[in-house]
Amino acid sequence: MASALALVSGAAAAQGIQLDGIVVTSTKTPELAIDALSGTSTLGRGELDTFQAALPPAFLMALAGVTTATTARDAATGVNVRGLQDFGRVNVLIDGARQSFQKTGHNADGVFYLEPEMIKRVDITRGPAATIYGSGAIGGVVAFDLIDADDILKPGEHAALRWRGTYSTNGEGYLSSTTGAIKLGAFDVLGQLTGRQVGDFEDGNGKIVPDSAKSTDSGLAKIRWRPAPGHQITGVVLDYNSHFVDTVTSGGVTGLSPRDTDVANLQYSLGYTFARPDTPLFDFSAKIYRNDTQIDQRRLTDLTNKKGDVVLVPAGARRSFEVDTVGADVFNTSRFSFGAIKLALTYGGDLFMDKVSNFDPLEGGDTFTPNGERTVYGTFVQGRLTFFEKIDLIAAVRYETYSLSGTIVTPSGTDKVGTDGERVSPKITLGYTPVRGITLFGTYAEGYRAPAVTETLISGFHPPGGRPFEFLPNPLLRPEVAHNFEVGVNFKFNGVFTPLDAFRARIMAFRNKVDDFIDPTLDPTYKSPNSPFPNGAFKYVNISQATIEGIEIEIEAMYDAKAWFFGLAAHRIRGTNEDTGEGLYSIPADRLVLTAGLRALDERLIAGTRVHFVWAQDRIPSAFFGSAAISASEAYTLVDLFAQYVINDNAVLSVNIDNLFDVAYRQYLDQNPSPGLSARIGLTLRFGAN
């Protein structure tokens, strides 16, 4: 970065023309987001700095077709893309490392932990158009790239240090983040230490949301070595630790079964890339990684029977949940030119192995989040032909196979079970640019998702103290197969009204039919042979077909006139269980987000507002209506304000006000009320040495 001003100008650019950011999740080859022939978006570091995000939902919720599922009692984030979430339907990657953690409870079944200070950018492709990017991604891919030395060092510097601190009013939140970078010849190193804490916050009614306090410490180290032109070796270590009190929310009651909770997420990765303009046949990437996420919990109160005279589980009882994922990803792109015709051929493979190791001897958490192992392997080839800069034809095919094994509880004891499967999934995309600045495209893509360990092996009874229904395993679960049609149009114009302005927009519509969709069911009439109580059974089953369709309107549009900018993102998505005709619980509420701002004082000041219009969502399955896991949400409108001011080349002041009018609301798929009015002030200081 040329200066602190350049760093903040990145934020301005993010507000105005973020569709010009580089993405790779659509085709595994770098391109501008606005040029991608898919529902692809990117958010850069500038967007995160502008809004001083404390958790990923703060910036993901501004994108069309993307929402999140969270609880106030946990620092985890579950991502929902085009109405699909849980168990790897959205492939979440952090610097290429797959995030597979899952713990069954009153929360999303597939979450990740990440400190926003570490993020360089997030790259999202919606739908199975990104299937070559990883197994199971029938909903899409969300890829986080972590910061590196280039984000801290100015040209010509060999060392730099950046400190950022923030204070937030709602919950008395604090952040202190220190990042340093050193460059020595062909080596550069980045290190970051971040501490973040917040107390219990208030909702829009002024009520404290209990056990919403969190304390997080994280560290990041990244080293890069360029031994020769075009060659780069990168090593990353990410260490994330969070502490909070995890409580159960059920039937609108919060604070049941409180547990002191520690989260530890440790990731390692080692990657090698080679690319040079004079070697068009080789644009090579290889990466291996390990991602271990563990939760340790200690019960804070006794669990007793309804009379209170019998202790079922004593205070101090411990349990743990761990998912250890190791994986590899290798691919290459070869480029050819035949006059006005260009061909890019990308081919490779990926592998990951999940090992689930849980321990809960008193409350059975290791039966409804069972132990087991799953291995998934895929290989692919994709060709992209470009004719006369007007027509693009992308054809791809992916083969993948999986195996899963573990133990289930039966009336006679336990049985070892295993399952496997394989499939070939095609994709074809046609893009046409009739006039400069307008590109029409259409895609048919299939995706394949193997059942997860929990979906297949879940067994046992609900923990003591609640309704003792039974969890039933289903080793006969079939994989999900998505058949997605989508059409879209990209608009890309410069100099629309003035020589310096720019307009970018994408409008998309899609229809995603998922055969053998895996859905949780609750049969209230089931009487267990293992219990005298006819309290029903919970089981994952295959729906013959689920249909999800929408207009993204994934609309994403941005106009940047330099002195001011305006953008919007909207979606309307519907999902149907074709067996019952009812809605799917994971479909988000309709949403329209408007962002507008101005730049003044030679772009040293950036200020604006973001308004969220969210409609009610009550199109949910009747069997789960009002349950602890799913409940309808009401419509609401939120107004946020943001401002950044460059004090000098080494200091930047940021101010944010969220939920300006202190609206009481709950985001659909969240369990707890959302925060009320919250103001944040932040200061960034930077020092460098030549």
**What DSSP state is assigned to residue 279?**
-
> According to the per-residue pLDDT averaged within each range, which of 129-133, 456-460, 546-550, 615-619 is highest?
615-619
pLDDT of residue 33: 87
The class (CATH top level) of 4-689 is mainly beta
Q: Which band of pLDDT confidence, cut at 50, 70 and 90, is reported for residue 532?
A: low
Res 389 pLDDT > 90: no
Q: List, for residues 180-217, the tens digit of each pLDDT value.
A: 999 999 999 999 999 999 999 999 999 999 999 999 99
Q: Where do we find the tokens 């899409």?
A: 140
DSSP H helical segments within 365-461, as ranges?
365-368, 453-457
Q: What is the mean pLDDT of residues 487-513?
A: 92
What does pTM read for this prediction? 0.92
Q: Where do we find the tokens 């080789």?
A: 282
Q: What percent of the chain has pLDDT over 70?
A: 92
Q: Which of 506, 481, 480, 479 is nearest to 492 (CA)?
A: 506
Q: Which band of pLDDT confidence, cut at 50, 70 and 90, is reported for residue 175?
A: very high
Query: Would you say 630 and 624 are in contact if contact means Cβ atoms under 8 Å apart?
Result: yes
Say which residues have a Cβ less than 8 Å from residue 278's Cβ, sequence separation at least 6: none
Per-residue DSSP letters for 113-138? ---GGGEEEEEEEESGGGGGGSTT-S
Helix/strand/coil (H/E/C) assignment for every residue in 229-293? CCEEEEEEEEEEEEEEEEEEEECCEEEEEEEEEEEEEEEEEEEEEEECCCCCCCEEEEEEEEEEE
Q: Which of 520, 501, 511 is nearest to 549 (CA)?
A: 511
- Rounded CA separation 663/540 (Å): 37
β strands within 524-590, DSSP E: 537-560, 564-577
> According to the per-residue pLDDT averaged within each range, which of 22-31, 185-194, 523-532, 622-631 is highest?
185-194
**What DSSP state is assigned to residue 84?**
B
Q: How many CB atoms lie within 10 A of CB 407?
A: 17
Q: List, for residues 329-364, the tens digit of each pLDDT value.
A: 999 999 999 989 999 999 999 999 999 999 998 887
Say which residues have a Cβ less than 8 Å from residue 78's Cβ, sequence separation at least 6: 68, 69, 70, 85, 86, 107, 108, 109, 110, 111, 669
Q: Which of 501, 608, 679 is nearest to 50 (CA)?
A: 608
In this structure, the dihedral spanned by the alpha carbons of residues 42, 44, 47 and 52, taken in order and rounded to 10 degrees, is: 120
